[in-house]
Structure 1
Amino acid sequence: MSRRLYKVLTLLITISVCAFFILSSISSASEQDVNGEVVVLFKRNTSFTDTLKSVKKAGVRSSRHLKLNSIRLKLIKVKPAQKDKVVERLKDDPKIIAVEPNSIVRAAWVPNDKFYALGSLNARQWNLTRINIAGAWDITRGAGTIVAVLDTGLAKNLKDLNYSKVMKGYDFVKRDRDPADDDGHGSHVTSIIAASTNNSIGIAGVSPDVKILPVKVLDNKGEGTEIELMEGLIYAYEKGANVINLSLDLETSSRALKVILDDIYRDGVVVVGASGNLSKGRVSYPARYRSVIGVGATTYSNTRANYSNYGKMLDVSAPGGDTTQNLNGDSSVDGILGASIGGGSGYFFFDGTSSATPHVSGVAALLYSQGVRGASQIKRAITSSATDLGSPGFDSFYGNGLLNANSALRRPKSSLSVRVSKTRVKYRQRVKVSGKLAPPRKATIYIQAYDAKRERWRTVAKTASKTNGDYAKIVKPAFNTYFRANWNGAGSTLGQQSNEKLVKVKTYMRLRRSRRRIRRGQKVILSGKVKPRYRRKLVAIQMKVGRRWKTITRTRLSRTSMFNKSVKLNRRKRYIFRIYMRSRYHLPSASNLVAVRVL
């Protein structure tokens, strides 16, 4: 009996322990993901109709649809009991790249007590002295740059913010046009970037003349979802943001989020992200992606803050503060001072990588205002000019070192112009793309074109500049194309990306007729070809009536972009025909003319 009782007790204990770990894992998963929500990433250029078919085939409906360039995403709501089956069906669809949980996104800050400053507030902004900002302000203060802050929103009554420079934003939590801050985190971050400067009150912002685009993706607890973050990124991109600040993080990687960030980066938008506050030896997402500038936090003593995540994907460090210290003896804690909500003076000390990140976003905005173009060039300017901390050179605790605004803005810069010989051409007609690199030097210049079908930039040619800086290259565009030039830089001189020039292209359309003369009531066959290849595209067959062209019928191109259409002619006269086509990728185009005489 005792052995049986022992076995029964052992079995019960084992079941209890297993149940505990299972429930713990379920609880842990639910803390990181939104229960019953799945993000679906489709292949590029999948049509909206096809995305609906894929979702319907899996037996569910989508609640949101996201689009950035050629990227398509859907948010699916699934009952927990059906989730595994639905996910498997979706993964079997050849049009779908990834199926992922809708992860929780959190503000990357340490929620210690808030302190407001007394007396001389500017003396407590040790963080601006540490990044050497004063010299940078002699060059620019950020005018002409839009910085999007994806966070808990922006308060409407901050004392030290010029609201004439705040753009109308959006709230993706409540889904309205009022991104009001009900937490305080977003307001504090925004004030670090853009607080009014030289106004005799309050604090100074890193880039006080920028425009701010507030985008609320986190709620009053500092939490949001991955889908809301992606919606916010697309919104900021479409509103023309030059710099995007992400003082937030999530624990798990997301292929869908990475694809969006990579596209934004290729289009020249700088994204800055917080490394996280768990003191882990790996940088959190999305700061961990190469398309994001990952920022760690330092303290008043220029040492890594003990909460700051670190690792090989850390790019740079910036002041994040420590509200448990007072090393400068100014009667206030060594946090980062900013404007926020919560009563008192309206100024509070926070610490965390959330506070470090806006310093880098502010300097990125200054570089953009100075004329540096291309996200990779701005990232290089920030990382290569940083003040070395820790082990010589790059190390996992500080990245490339401590942000140095003055050094970044005083690095040797270059300028790169571009022009095109023609702005309207025929299909595959030669166009000369040329320009000048300054200071003049021999260098490799990359000619890049915007692929309208794939909706992304790609390098189509490369050429060498002469000793006087001039360069030129012949290209033959097949579609309406934006061209730009890019130089990667050399030595201490930063590279540069030119502005864009549009070349509009007419399609090549060839029309033939089967006979020159026919009798009344007979048919003539009109045939031909269109270049570049348009599959299943409708084209109009037009007949000249007086001075105007009248569409008499339409025909659909074959898979090889050819057409063949018979037309019955009943009147004795001379007919003149052409084919005509409109497309988003080309100028409205017409073919050669053919004549048919009816006897």
Structure 2
Amino acid sequence: MKRFVWLGLVGGLVACGSDSNVEPQACPGTAGMVLPPATMASAYQGEAAPPADGTEAVIITFRQRVFATAKANTDAFAEDVTRAGGQVKQRIPSLNMVSARVSPQMREALARNPDVVSVSPDREVRALGMMQRPMSPQAWLGAEPKPEPNRQGSVGEYTQGLKMVKADKIWDANADGILDEGRPTGTGIKVCVVDSGWDNRHPELKAAFIGGKDFIHGSANALALDARVDSQGNVVVWGGGHGTHTAATIAAQLGAGGKVRLGDDPNGTVGVAPTASLLVARVLNETGTGSTTNVITALEWCQEQGANIVSLSLGAASKNAAEELAFDTAKANGVLTIAATGNSGGAQVSFPAGYASVVGVGAVNFAGEWAAFSQYGDGTNLVGPGVGVLSATIVGGAPYGEVDANGQQFASNPLEYSALGTYSGRLVDCGLGASVTDCGEGATCEGFLAYVDRGGGILFEEKVRNAIRAGAKAVIIGNHTADEGAGNFTLNAPSERWVPTVSVSLESANVLRGMIGTQVALDVSGLDYALQTGTSMATPHVSGVAALVWSLDPQRLTSEQVRSALIDTADDLGPTGWDQNYGSGLVNAEKAVDFAERLLTPPAP
């Protein structure tokens, strides 16, 4: 029995035909099957094409004028831009800023205006997680009652990252899976996650969420979903889950698990500060990109909502005068901002992490070794776990495969862009998958499960395409390299023609070859948790520890005291003192909380 739930609809696979224009044994409906022309990954890497009218997006910062209100000031600034021929896009009254589209000549004219402080590019910002886009099946967007925070779960929810920063030692000293009474857990602290939004269906985040705003669509969507939503509020497509992952690293709930991998704790994961409150500002679109203007306006919104901490797992390569002013202003207003240093491995951190007002966070692996992709240099204040970090993702968005043959289960990895679904059928040897005719005895247009060997200089998508044309309704690819396990492979791009497809290890492949001709079941499911890598993943660990520290006494502690507690107590991992790779070291919740407790303790008489 088969069940396809996303990209697994393969039409027309019935009895074999005899069309002379197609390869022998190609099934009707598959002869014209072609490979998708582009990869989804390219959407993350490609730069936006310049506009045809030759204008550019800029942010203009003006000097303060003597008007009754900030709005009146900004209205006057907008008039200056319009008179110069520019097209005003957005006004930011609190910072005397206007974003606009202008020509190079208009930009020069504005720069000569004595009332203009700076004209900065409204540059692109990007998510700083190095993950592949997960599968994101369509789902109904429904409103559900907001649950109360749960104080009881299980120690199996404690991820490697959480234990590495010693957060569990703060609120579960006896390791019983229950939050200790009277200990800081994040209560009373608002953390604003400026990212790609969140999945409101995920059980880990429902209790923590207190409000959001979508700056991508310019809508009043208080959910700030990690999704594209139509005019009726229906989800058109879910995003990649970057914001969901970072938010859950901060504040996932105890005992509130979603769908997990077989053998993992059914309660899912727990965040560093599990009772902190989450504000969500969506500034990154479905491809992980956004604008400087939206970052600035989101930062302003976070402050208006009373955020104590703003966590930003995003950045751009260059400084920006308007953006720097916005972050300096946030610091002056008592807000602690924390941002990722970037993933290019270069000796210049991304911005906003590089501004003096922001805590810049690099990444280490679970052995405490600097991650080679982590950008370094001035602006690196701390590091956190950022390699293979487990956290929540879009519901059903993380692919997971199970192979069952004669009651024996085999570990497998779905290929990127595999269809979700289950299929049980006769296992047929399709060799290297070089052509339709590689599938031997048992191949039929009525369906079978193809076994294909890796290798031969043939791309995976070609192997799978040929198996589908021969009638396969699911595909297993056997790895030929022992040290790679099941491997991590791709079908190159999404397509409605793909079927459930997984890869297995060399050891499993050797066993499965001996089962050719038997009934084998394959299930590719979508899980609610994913491993992701990047300084994006390190940053929310630091933000979560900051929330723990601040929740000791939200009224008496200041942002500067919390910042000092994080930096001054970090575990020194590199050369003694600050260094360009590790900054001051790995954030340590135990030491940071102890530091803050001493600040709050009055000196002995």
The answer to whether TM tops 0.5 is yes
Q: 2:328 — aligned with what?
A: 262
**Deviation sequence 1:425-447 (CA, Å, 0-9, x none):** xxxxxxxxxxxxx6248xxxxxx
How far apart are the structure 1 equivalents of 2:55 and 2:368? 42
How far apart are the structure 2 equivalents of 1:101 and 1:115? 34
How far apart are the structure 2 equivalents of 1:318 and 1:146? 21
Does the aligned pair in 2 maintain the 1:122–1:204 contact within 8 Å? no
TM-aligned CA distance change 1:291 to 1:360, over 3 Å: same
TM-aligned CA distance change 1:63 to 1:186, over 3 Å: same
Structure 1 position 86, deviation (Å) = 0.3
Q: How does 1:151-230 map to 2 (within 5 A)?
A: 151-161=195-205, 163-178=206-221, 179-182=224-227, 183=239, 184-198=241-255, 201-230=267-296
**Deviation sequence 1:229-279 (CA, Å, 0-9, x none):** 111111111111111110001111111011111011111111110000000
**Deviation sequence 1:541-565 (CA, Å, 0-9, x none):** xxxxxxxxxxxxxxxxxxxxxxxxx
Q: How does 1:468-479 map to 2 (within 5 A)?
A: none
| Structure 2 residue 114 is matched with structure 1 residue 94 | yes
Does the aligned pair in 1 maintain the 2:74–2:92 contact within 8 Å? no
Q: 1:133 — aligned with what?
A: 167
Q: 1:384 — aligned with what?
A: 568
SS at match of 2:192: strand
Q: 2:470 — aligned with what?
A: none
The one-letter code of the counterpart of 2:368 is N
Aligned-residue identity in percent:
31
Structure 1 position 336, deviation (Å) = 3.2
- Which of 80, 85, 94 is residue 59 of structure 1 equivalent to? 85
How far apart are the structure 1 equivalents of 2:82 and 2:596? 56
How far apart are the structure 1 equivalents of 2:583 and 2:190? 26
SS at match of 1:105: strand
TM-aligned CA distance change 1:368 to 1:151, over 3 Å: same
TM-aligned CA distance change 1:280 to 1:51, over 3 Å: same
- Which of 511, 527, 550 is residue 368 of structure 1 equivalent to? 550
Q: 1:41 — aligned with what?
A: 61
How far apart are the structure 2 equivalents of 1:144 and 1:188? 22
Does the aligned pair in 1 maintain the 2:191–2:547 contact within 8 Å? yes
Deviates more, 1:340-349 or 1:166-175: 340-349
The one-letter code of the counterpart of 2:290 is G
Q: 1:149 — aligned with what?
A: 193
RMSD between superposed Cα atoms in Å: 2.6
Does the aligned pair in 1 maintain the 2:168–2:272 contact within 8 Å? no
The one-letter code of the counterpart of 1:62 is V
- Which of 380, 394, 399 is residue 314 of structure 1 equivalent to? 380
Q: How does 1:284-433 map to 2 (within 5 A)?
A: 284-321=350-387, 334-341=388-395, 342=397, 344-371=526-553, 373-411=557-595, 413=597
SS at match of 2:527: coil
How far apart are the structure 1 equivalents of 2:185 and 2:167? 10
How far apart are the structure 1 equivalents of 2:304 and 2:204? 28
**Deviation sequence 1:397-426 (CA, Å, 0-9, x none):** 10001110111001154668xxxxxxxxxx
TM-aligned CA distance change 1:115 to 1:124, over 3 Å: farther
The one-letter code of the counterpart of 2:540 is P
How far apart are the structure 1 equivalents of 2:596 and 2:308? 22
**Deviation sequence 1:284-329 (CA, Å, 0-9, x none):** 10000011110000101110111111112200000001xxxxxxxx
How far apart are the structure 2 equivalents of 1:364 and 1:412? 11
The one-letter code of the counterpart of 1:147 is V
How far apart are the structure 1 equivalents of 2:83 and 2:91? 17
The one-letter code of the counterpart of 1:356 is A
The one-letter code of the counterpart of 1:293 is V
How far apart are the structure 1 equivalents of 2:135 and 2:552? 35
Q: TM-score, normalised by structure 1?
A: 0.59
How far apart are the structure 2 equivalents of 1:121 and 1:415? 31
How far apart are the structure 2 equivalents of 1:168 and 1:255? 29
Structure 1 position 375, deviation (Å) = 2.2
| Structure 2 residue 301 is matched with structure 1 residue 235 | yes
Structure 1 position 156, deviation (Å) = 1.3
Deviates more, 1:353-362 or 1:37-46: 37-46
**Deviation sequence 1:5-47 (CA, Å, 0-9, x none):** xxxxxxxxxxxxxxxxxxxxxx979689x96211101113562
SS at match of 1:303: coil
Does the aligned pair in 2 maintain the 1:268–1:373 contact within 8 Å? no
How many residues align structurally?
372
Structure 1 or 2, whichever has the larger Rg, is 1
How far apart are the structure 2 equivalents of 1:385 and 1:132? 13
SS at match of 1:337: strand
Does the aligned pair in 1 maintain the 2:186–2:276 contact within 8 Å? yes
The one-letter code of the counterpart of 2:92 is L
The one-letter code of the counterpart of 1:387 is D
| Structure 2 residue 315 is matched with structure 1 residue 249 | yes
How far apart are the structure 1 equivalents of 2:135 and 2:367? 20
TM-aligned CA distance change 1:260 to 1:392, over 3 Å: same
The one-letter code of the counterpart of 2:243 is G
The one-letter code of the counterpart of 2:358 is V
Q: 2:98 — aligned with what?
A: 74
Structure 1 position 102, deviation (Å) = 1.0
Structure 1 position 337, deviation (Å) = 3.4
TM-aligned CA distance change 1:412 to 1:194, over 3 Å: closer
Does the aligned pair in 2 maintain the 1:168–1:177 contact within 8 Å? no
TM-aligned CA distance change 1:412 to 1:164, over 3 Å: closer
The one-letter code of the counterpart of 2:359 is I
How far apart are the structure 1 equivalents of 2:549 and 2:55? 42
TM-aligned CA distance change 1:355 to 1:214, over 3 Å: same
SS at match of 1:297: strand
Q: 2:126 — aligned with what?
A: 106
SS at match of 1:281: coil
SS at match of 1:111: coil
Structure 1 position 100, deviation (Å) = 1.5
Does the aligned pair in 1 maintain the 2:74–2:97 contact within 8 Å? no
Structure 1 position 394, deviation (Å) = 1.0
Q: TM-score, normalised by structure 2?
A: 0.58
Structure 1 position 62, deviation (Å) = 1.5
TM-aligned CA distance change 1:31 to 1:387, over 3 Å: farther
Which blocks of at least 5 consecutive residues in structure 2 are unaligned? 1-45, 67-72, 137-153, 172-179, 228-238, 257-265, 399-525
Q: How does 1:482-493 map to 2 (within 5 A)?
A: none
TM-aligned CA distance change 1:75 to 1:309, over 3 Å: same
Q: 1:521 — aligned with what?
A: none
Structure 1 position 155, deviation (Å) = 0.5
The one-letter code of the counterpart of 2:315 is D
TM-aligned CA distance change 1:224 to 1:124, over 3 Å: same
How far apart are the structure 2 equivalents of 1:121 and 1:373? 30
How far apart are the structure 1 equivalents of 2:272 and 2:158? 15
How far apart are the structure 1 equivalents of 2:89 and 2:245? 33
Does the aligned pair in 2 maintain the 1:121–1:202 contact within 8 Å? no
How far apart are the structure 1 equivalents of 2:74 and 2:342? 36
